[in-house]
Amino acid sequence: MLQYPHFAEIDKFLQNETETYDGQLDIYPPPNLIFNAFNFFEPNELSVVLLGQDPYINPGEAMGLAFSVPANKKVPPSLVNIYKELSTDIGSADVSGRTGDLSHWAQQGVLLLNTALTVRQKKSNSHQDIWKPMCDWIIKWISDNIPNVVYILWGNNAKDKKKLIDLNNNNYIVESAHPSPLSATKFFGSRPFSKTNEILVKKLGKKPIVW
């Protein structure tokens, strides 16, 4: 899934970023977690692709999983809103006391993929341009080669990827506004979790995700 033919260009870019700032520039997540989203399951176990945008820009937060932070970090505002919607959408989902670590979603075949896999500290969208071709390639590769997948698209950046998804390959799209505090009023009530599980069970014959 990750045999992207032009990765050397990205690698060179990241090296130059560090060299330009004499090694003082922090890039998130750390190198060993850049591709963490792909570490939890085999391609044939994929059920859901949930697209994010940038890794978190604060120290110690980005862990290579979209919307997720390590358990010892404060839950970010967008994820707070995701948990609120989850609690409303699936009434039995107890989100009280949850950490921001979404590894348990990834372990069930949910690809938590950002559309940029690295970012400069404190500079949102700073690496979007270099990662866009590869992330688009990954999404299209998955769509073309792995059928029966639900794509959850929150916000305009994610919705822009609809053109890469082949619905004729028995793939489905669940979309809404972004859970950011700036658009959360339109996100609330969109019921993405129950919609996704309904598709997985009734249309794809798969197990529901335990959100």
End-to-end CA distance of the chain: 25
% of the chain beyond a pLDDT of 90 = 86
Rg (CA), the chain: 17
Q: Is 136 a catalytic residue?
A: no
pLDDT value, residue 96? 83
Choosing from 11, 22, 54, 136, which is the catalytic residue? 54
pLDDT value, residue 4? 86
Query: Between the CA of residue 169 and those of 1, 47, 88, 139, 146, what are the distances in Å?
Result: 17, 13, 31, 13, 8
pLDDT in tens, 3-58: 788 899 999 998 888 665 555 568 999 999 999 999 999 999 999 999 999 999 99
Kindly give the interhelix angle for 128-145 and 7-20, rounded to the nearest 10 degrees.
Answer: 160
Show the domains of the chain with their CATH numbers.
7-203 (3.40.470.10)
pLDDT value, residue 153? 98
pLDDT in tens, 114-141: 999 999 999 999 999 999 999 999 999 9
